[in-house]
Structure 1
Amino acid sequence: MSDSVLKRYTNPRAAFVQRGEQPDEEEGLTDDLGCYGWLRGMRERSPMLEFRRKDGRSLAYDYALLRKVEFDPSEGITLHFDGEIARIEGRNLGDELTPGIQLLRGILNHRVPWVRELGEADLLAAAEDTLVIERFDFIEAR
């Protein structure tokens, strides 16, 4: 079997190339874990953290500007970026709900490309032991 045939059938982007399309950079690299995304590759790192609001708006910060991360189970995760503070509020934010995958550790290691607020219907339907992001707060640093 030639190298080109092997590459054509083992390359996940081959289907796009055959159809003349450009593959989405994030497609296949990120797992959707409900309230946040997780980069699959052990060495993958996200350049930015996107906050997806329940009303469809989004805001992203450069991970390079992240100076400090605080976690308090009663208040949530507080991220100190240059000039601004972002707070993630919800429940089970510090829990490892999937073996080896935890939101807080993912943020610390730049493995989380996005986080998402849940709408009212999703909040009511979510089980008690599920990680839920209820809201984001953005505050200018003093």
Structure 2
Amino acid sequence: MTEPLNILSRVNRSKDTIDDDLDVYADSDDYRAFGYSRKPVSSDPMINFIDSTGNQSAFAYGHLYQTKFDPSEGITIEFTEHVVSIRGRRLGEAFAKLVSQRVVFVAEADRPTAVLVPDDLPVVTRLEIADKKERPSPR
């Protein structure tokens, strides 16, 4: 009698390959501005925003309303009730992955870390989350 296969075995995937599909933020890891999902279809329903002090806020992709990218200004993400502003350098690839719902975390670097990140890698130098109710409306 053979043992029944679990669902991971049936789709020819192990827990190790699933872990490789998703970047996870850890304080002890080297700095990375963004974490990505490499799953064929995005099933990660939230983006985790981590400021340079380690505080974290996560927002559901289902509440994402609009994203904008201006290379000189950065990325602006508008959710139903919040606006997130991301400033830094080399943010273009992250914006493309954000639009396809592949970004799982955004991490702001503290000043010493930002200076050490090589110029050819992305770095988030400022991360701001504002409640839409507190923002003045544009005139």
Q: TM-score, normalization: structure 2?
A: 0.75
Q: CA deviation at 1:11?
A: 4.6
Structure 2, unaligned runs of 5 or more: 25-30
Instruction: Map residues 1-142 of structure 1 onto 2, 5 A cutoff.
Output: 7=9, 11-13=13-15, 27-31=19-23, 34-94=32-92, 102-141=93-132, 142=137
Q: Distance in 1 between matches of 2:32 and 2:40?
A: 20
CA RMSD of aligned residues (A): 2.6
Q: Distance in 2 between matches of 1:124 and 1:62?
A: 31
Q: Distance in 2 between matches of 1:31 and 1:59?
A: 17
Q: Distance in 2 between matches of 1:79 and 1:11?
A: 34
Q: Distance in 2 between matches of 1:36 and 1:88?
A: 11
Query: Aligned to 2:83, what secondary structure does the other structure show?
Result: strand
Structure 1, unaligned runs of 5 or more: 16-25, 95-101
Q: Distance in 2 between matches of 1:92 and 1:110?
A: 18
Q: CA deviation at 1:127?
A: 1.5
Counterpart of 2:84, as a letter, is A
Q: TM-score, normalization: structure 1?
A: 0.73
Query: CA contact under 8 A between 2:23 and 2:104: conserved in structure 1?
Result: no
Query: CA contact under 8 A between 1:45 and 1:109: conserved in structure 2?
Result: no
Q: Distance in 2 between matches of 1:62 and 1:78?
A: 16
